Amino acid sequence: MNASDRTPADLLRSALAADPARPLVTFYDDATGERVELSVATFANWVAKTANLLQDDLSAAPGDRLSLLLPAHWQTAVWLLACSSVGVSAEPGGDPASADAVVSGPDTLDAARACGGERLALALRPLGGRFPEPPAGFADYAVEVPSHGDRFAPYAPVDPAGVALRVGGRELTAAQVVEQATADAAERGLAPGSRLLSALPYDTWEGLSAGLFAPLAAGASVVLCRNLEKLSAEGLAQRVASERVTHRTV
């Protein structure tokens, strides 16, 4: 990170300027066999498109609250940084009824219908595939996002002192997310080139930090694993070796 980085979106911009080709998020789903690797540049492109969708189609503005009903997944990581880019407060597992908008996976659609604002659904299929049939009352993220621009500029400046994240009963400003992620990275011994394997869910700060923010702050990368319990000990050892994992938290 740079001394001028005051929001998670700033961290991503610094990573993009430093080395756009390096891996940032490598995602595994051991229930489906899916593996996706996103470089900093590819990840940033998804973030820009999603932030444009959030700002233009969902009419989101700084200070709005978005309920994020998604598991630990590469697309969830994209949404977290898109929210930071717009200045929206992301609430993993947050109550949809009190949110301005909701983004839901396929398993939480019923709960997400409590939101009176904009509703978006993700199929979480391999390669970012769409729903075979769009869920009633929801826009399909995979259908909507491709048409949006590859560059993003917020209509209003993002305040580092604004609440960026609500998780586990905590409220963190954008600046606090950066500060805590940087401290966590130092505590874990992360440095540029480190590869952290995490199977923690995204419903706690620890999971969000290990699975995204701390590696981003350190110039490192994350190997994000969903349904890791389905992998044998031998399979895990092979993954650690093949992905050049230097740090683990499971």
Contact 239, 35 (CB under 8 A): no
Does a structural domain hold residue 210? yes
Does a structural domain hold residue 69? yes
**Mean pLDDT (whole number) for 1-27:** 93
Flag whether pLDDT at 152 surpasses 90.
yes
CATH assignment at residue 112? 3.40.50.12780
pTM for this model (two decimals):
0.97
Contact 195, 22 (CB under 8 A): no
Domains: count for the chain? 1
Best CA proximity match to 223, nearest among 205, 204, 238 = 238
Does a structural domain hold residue 1? no
* pLDDT band, very low/low/confident/very high, at 250 (cuts 50, 70, 90): low
* pLDDT band, very low/low/confident/very high, at 121 (cuts 50, 70, 90): very high
The overall average pLDDT reported for the chain is 96
Flag whether pLDDT at 13 surpasses 80.
yes
Task: Return the amino acid letter for 165.
Answer: L
Contact 216, 15 (CB under 8 A): yes
Which range marks the domain in which residue 77 is found?
8-249
The per-residue b/e assignment along 145-159, b for 16 or more CB within 10 angstroms, e otherwise, is beebeeebeeeeebb
Does a structural domain hold residue 3? no
Per-residue confidence (pLDDT) for residue 245, from 0 to 100: 98
* pLDDT band, very low/low/confident/very high, at 174 (cuts 50, 70, 90): very high
Residue spans of beta strands (DSSP E) within 152-202: 163-167, 170-173, 195-198
**Mean pLDDT (whole number) for 17-31:** 97
Does a structural domain hold residue 182? yes
Does a structural domain hold residue 240? yes
Best CA proximity match to 24, nearest among 217, 234, 226, 230 = 217
pLDDT digits (tens, 9 = 90+) for 82-113: 999 999 999 999 999 999 999 999 999 999 99
Q: What is the DSSP string of 42-104?
A: HHHHHHHHHHHIIIIIS---TT-EEEEE--S-HHHHHHHHHHHHHTPEEEET--GGGSSEEEE
Does a structural domain hold residue 2? no
Q: In the numeric block, which tokens belong to residue 93? A: 């597992």
- Which helix (H) or strand (E) segment holds residue 39: the answer is strand 34-39
Flag whether pLDDT at 127 surpasses 90.
no
What are φ and ψ of residue 55, in 5° steps? -75, -40
Per-residue confidence (pLDDT) for residue 2, from 0 to 100: 73
Contact 224, 214 (CB under 8 A): no
Q: In the numeric block, which tokens belong to residue 157? A: 């400046």
